[in-house]
Structure 1
Amino acid sequence: MPNQIWLSQLQKHRAIAVIRAPKIELGQQMAMAVASGGMQLIEITWNSDRAGELISQLRSQLPTCTIGTGTLFNVQQLQSAIASEAQFLFTPHLDLAMIQAAQQKDVPIIPGALTPTEIFTAWSQGASCVKVFPVQAMGGADYIKSLQGPLGEIPLIPTGGVTLENAKEFLEAGAIAVGLSGGLFPKKLVTEGNWEAIASGARKLMQQLA
């Protein structure tokens, strides 16, 4: 997927559901729940159970959604993820070889960075956007706001501590989109299999961000 299309998806949907699933069946139910709540950007972390298989499965089950992956640590994992049809790639860190490998295949890559130097380096090396992680540890939305002056042209996606309650503040502070994991999938609801409550949280989030 070319970069422009990816950026327009982010601008349209504004939130990415991040799924870390210990069992493939659970991952599928989590994805179905947020999709039924109207979320269209879904990330399956590469350390989920049979992540590649789950991504391929969701690509056919949720044709209107954009399914990507995250928590990729090296070029080998990145290539396996692309082979599984992942449509976007998140990494927790900045690795120039991974950025180049993703660019060669025209798949958007969003490396993790925290300081202004890391963020700018990722962007200048060809990242599609930059994941600001862990954002809450740095002061949350205020940190995103303070980066806007010098780094305003770089599309930032904060993750790590984004909740249903504070997601909107990040967008108001200048983020192009946010990534939510625990905020969308409270442990108790996942354990109980309360997919309706998870779908309803996703729906509420999408209304707030619209």
Structure 2
Amino acid sequence: MNTRTTTTPEVVSPLDLAPVLPVVVIPDAELAVPLARALLAGGLRAIEITLRSTAALEACRRITAEVPGMTVGVGTVRAPAHVTEARDAGAQFLVSPGATPGLLDALEDSCLPFLPGTATISEMLAVAERGITEMKLFPAEVVGGTALLRAVHGPLPDLRFCPTGGITPRTAATYLTQPNVGCVGGSWLTPADALNRRDWDGISTLAAAASSLRTAA
């Protein structure tokens, strides 16, 4: 668990909430609550709302307030100011695409669980030097995917990852067989056309298939 303070037994790592962490761009905050309920109905109890739309923080507030069974994270956290904004909006965990010293300081100071982004062994070592053992691998497919994860597991066996970037329903199960993978991040669960059509049943079906991937792996 990546937090600076001692955590309580009730706090669960983002890596252990679900086999697939939905990585979502929400264009309209009105979609947030029904989307979260659809994912939850499909068996996924965590969501990463990316800071790629102006509706992201309001979406976080609404889901946190209205969907108590859903653990809400904020992703694409790139600067200390984003950490503060996400925490104030009610985020329960944070995800970053990279890990600069200043950003890591802010993430640690937030007292929230977080997954800092890494792409190379040197970046993993720099993050691990702070005692942080849970990370995001991004962009996973571009930097080596499962081959990279297998290669780093030998010298860095204490590290666990959420690979994100280019992962599909077809490849997700293979990622989940790796001993250093806790979950994968997936954008396929909330396709833009399904959001536009408010196809909550379709999204629930995708979530149900994703929630079964750990068993399949």
User: Which residue is equivalent to 2:85?
Assistant: 80
Unaligned runs of 5+ in 1: none
What is the CA-CA distance between 1:45 and the residue it aligns to? Answer: 0.9
Whether 1:179 aligns to 2:177 is no
In the alignment, the residues of structure 1 paired with residue 78 and residue 8 of structure 2 have an alpha-carbon distance, to the nearest angstrom, of 21
Larger mean CA deviation between 50-59 and 154-163 belongs to: 50-59
What is the CA-CA distance between 1:73 and the residue it aligns to? Answer: 1.3
Q: Conserved in 2, the CA contact under 8 Å of 1:108 and 1:127?
A: no
| Superimposed CA distance per residue, residues 145-185 of structure 1 (whole angstroms, 9 cap, x where no aligned partner) | 2221112211111000122222121111221111111x212
In the alignment, the residues of structure 1 paired with residue 59 and residue 129 of structure 2 have an alpha-carbon distance, to the nearest angstrom, of 32
In the alignment, the residues of structure 1 paired with residue 12 and residue 100 of structure 2 have an alpha-carbon distance, to the nearest angstrom, of 20
Given candidates 34, 37, 43, the residue that maps to 2:39 is 34
Given candidates 138, 147, 150, the residue that maps to 1:142 is 147
Closer, same or farther: CA 83–128 of 1 in aligned 2, 3 Å: farther
Unaligned runs of 5+ in 2: none
Three-state SS of the structure 2 residue aligned to 1:189 is: helix
What is the CA-CA distance between 1:119 and the residue it aligns to? Answer: 1.4
What is the CA-CA distance between 1:3 and the residue it aligns to? Answer: 8.4
Aligned residue pairs total 208
In the alignment, the residues of structure 2 paired with residue 10 and residue 140 of structure 1 have an alpha-carbon distance, to the nearest angstrom, of 17
User: Which residue is equivalent to 2:114?
Assistant: 109
User: Which residue is equivalent to 1:159?
Assistant: 164
AA aligned to 1:179 is: G
| Superimposed CA distance per residue, residues 56-104 of structure 1 (whole angstroms, 9 cap, x where no aligned partner) | 2101222122101010111011111111111111111112222222322
Q: Conserved in 1, the CA contact under 8 Å of 2:118 and 2:137?
A: yes
TM-score of the pair, normalised by structure 1: 0.89
User: Which residue is equivalent to 1:63?
Assistant: 68
Bigger relative contact order (CA 8 A; separation at least 6): 2
AA aligned to 1:123 is: A
Percent identical across equivalent pairs?
27
What is the CA-CA distance between 1:126 and the residue it aligns to? Answer: 4.2
User: Which residue is equivalent to 2:204?
Assistant: 199
TM-score of the pair, normalised by structure 2: 0.87
Q: Conserved in 2, the CA contact under 8 Å of 1:73 and 1:91?
A: yes
Closer, same or farther: CA 105–129 of 1 in aligned 2, 3 Å: same
User: Which residue is equivalent to 2:125?
Assistant: 120
CA RMSD of aligned residues (A): 2.0
Q: Conserved in 2, the CA contact under 8 Å of 1:142 and 1:173?
A: no
Three-state SS of the structure 2 residue aligned to 1:150 is: coil
| Superimposed CA distance per residue, residues 4-61 of structure 1 (whole angstroms, 9 cap, x where no aligned partner) | 7333x53352221111112212344332221211101111112233322211210122
Q: Conserved in 1, the CA contact under 8 Å of 2:19 and 2:210?
A: no
